[in-house]
Copies of this chain bind each other. A is one copy, B any other.
Amino acid sequence: MKIFVLGGDGFCGWPTALHLSEIGHDVTIVDNLSRRKIDITLEVQSLTPITPISQRIDTWRKISGKKIKYINLDISKEYVRLIDIFNKYRPEAIIHFAEQRSAPYSMKFPSTKRYTVNNNVNATHNLLCALVECNLNAHVVHLGSMGVYGYGWSGSTPIPEGYISVKVETPEGEIPREILHPANPGSVYHMTKTLDQLMFAFYTKNDNIRVTDLHQGIVWGTQTEETSRDEKLINRFDYDGDYGTVLNRFLMQAAIGYPLTVHGSGGQTRAFIHIRDTVKCIEIAINNPPKKGERPQIFNQMTETHKIKELAQLISKLTGSKIEYLSNPRKEADKNDLVVDNAQFLALGLKPTTLSEGLMEEVEDIAKKYLDRIDKTKIPARSLWVKS
C-alpha cells in the first residue's frame, strides 16, 4: 500500500515509518523536521544520537533493502505543495503525526501556545481540505490523545473508545443517543486534539473522508525491532522537562543517579503504551479502515494504567534510586483513578508489551549507554500551567 507518514521523523513517526516499510508498504515520510528544530531552540537533544534524516533513510535501505522516500514539507503552511504531492503519489493511507506533541511545551510561553494551536489545527485542516480538493480516498490514521477525555465519569468506569451512550433529558422524556465523549483537555496541546476531533467529524459527514483517530496514552520505551537494527536507525529518547515523558524520565534519572522527580502527590493515574505497540497499533489501524460515510473510527491506543507514584516506586526498587516529590506545574487533580477500554485493538490482535518487561533493558541499553550526552540542567520541568 502507498502510505504517507506525516511527521515521520518524530518519536512515533520514525519507528512507524520503518515498521510499515518492513512489512512491505511503499512509505513516504513528509516532515518539516520541526521536532529537531525545537530541540535547537530549547538547547537540548535526544539522549540517543539521531542521525540526519537522509542518513537514517540510507541506513534503512542498506539494512533492509527497502526504500523510503522523504519530502521536506510543512503541511500546516505549504498547502500548494501538499496538493502537488497528493496528486503525484496518490497515497492510499496517510498516517498523521504532524503535530506539536508536548503538553508542557504547549503551556510554556504565549508563543508556544500559539504555535501549537496554529500548527496543529492548520496541519489537520489542510490535510482534510487537500483530500477533498484532490478527490483522494485515502484513509487518514491520526494520532489523538487519551487527554481528550479528561479522566472519565468516575474512577471505576472505563473510558470508552470515543463515543458514549447517553439518555438526553428533554421535556418529552429521555432520548437515547450515542455521542462523542465530551472533551475535557488538560493543556493547550490536548485541546488541539479535541479540535481535531470536531474537524474529523465534519469532514467525514460532509465529504465522506475516512478517518481513524487513535487516542494514545503516554509512550514509553525507545526501540522497536526495526530501529534497533543499526545505531543510525535509533529512535529519539527525550528526557528534558518539556518533551520527556514521565516513565522515560524516571529511567534516565535512575541511570544517572538523579532522584526520580514526582510532580505533586504522584496520585495521578496515566495510561501507557510501549513504542513497539504503537507501531503495531498503526499497522492494525491501516488494515481496518472505516467505510466511506462512517463517523470517525476511534480506538484507545494504550495497554495499561499506573499511578505515577507507583511507577517511581517500581523503578526505585529495581535501581535503588531515591524519589523526590516536587510541586506540580500542571493544573490538575492531585489524584485520580483511570480505567480505559481498549477492547478494539485487543480484539484485532494486539499483544501488549507489559511495563515490567523492558524496563531494565531501557536503563542499561539506552539511558546508561548514552549518559554522557545528558545535560542535567534540562531535567527540571519548568513549564507552568498557570503563571504565579
A110 near B122: Cβ-Cβ < 8 Å: no
Interface centre among A157, A194, A198 (most CB of B within 10 A): A198
Q: Known A158-B171, A169-B164; judge A191-B198 contact (CB<8 A).
A: yes
Query: Does A380 lie at the interface of the complex (its beta carbon under 8 Å from any beta carbon of B)?
Result: no
Within A206-261, the residues touching B (CB, 8 Å) are: 206-207
Tell me the count of chain A residues lying within 8 A, CB to CB, of chain B: 51
Q: Which of A180-188, A297-305, A344-352, A358-366 contacts B (4 or more CB under 8 A)?
A: A180-188
Query: Does A25 lie at the interface of the complex (its beta carbon under 8 Å from any beta carbon of B)?
Result: no
Q: Which of A48-56, A129-137, A278-286 contacts B (4 or more CB under 8 A)?
A: A129-137
Q: How far is the CA of A324 from the CA of B125 in the complex (A)?
A: 36
Q: How far is the CA of A205 from the CA of B133 in the complex (A)?
A: 37
Q: Which residue on B lies nearest to A341, using beta carbons? A: B171
Q: Which residue on B lies nearest to A109, using beta carbons? A: B133
User: How many copies, total?
Assistant: 2
Q: A114 touches which one: B79, B182, B185 (CB < 8 A)? A: B79
Q: How far is the CA of A180 from the CA of B153 in the complex (A)?
A: 15
- Complex contacts, A167 vs chain B, CB 8 Å: 166-167, 169, 174
Query: Does A73 lie at the interface of the complex (its beta carbon under 8 Å from any beta carbon of B)?
Result: no
B198 near A175: Cβ-Cβ < 8 Å: no
Query: Does A113 lie at the interface of the complex (its beta carbon under 8 Å from any beta carbon of B)?
Result: yes
- Complex contacts, A174 vs chain B, CB 8 Å: 167
A156 near B169: Cβ-Cβ < 8 Å: no
Q: A185 touches which one: B79, B118, B164, B202 (CB < 8 A)? A: B202
Q: How far is the CA of A174 from the CA of B176 in the complex (A)?
A: 12
B113 near A129: Cβ-Cβ < 8 Å: yes
B201 near A183: Cβ-Cβ < 8 Å: yes
Q: Known A114-B129, A206-B331; judge A198-B183 contact (CB<8 A).
A: yes
Q: Which 7 A-B pairs have the closest CB atoms?
A: A166-B166, A157-B170, A165-B169, A167-B167, A179-B182, A117-B125, A191-B202
Q: Which residues of A approach B to under 8 Å, CB–CB?
A: 79, 110, 113-114, 117-118, 121-122, 125-126, 129-130, 132-133, 153-154, 156-158, 164-172, 174-175, 177, 179-180, 182-183, 185, 188, 191, 194-195, 198-199, 201-202, 205-207, 331, 385-387
Q: Can you list 17 A-B contacts (CB < 8 A)?
A: A79-B114, A110-B133, A114-B125, A114-B126, A117-B125, A118-B125, A121-B121, A153-B175, A154-B170, A154-B175, A158-B170, A185-B198, A191-B199, A194-B198, A195-B195, A206-B385, A206-B386
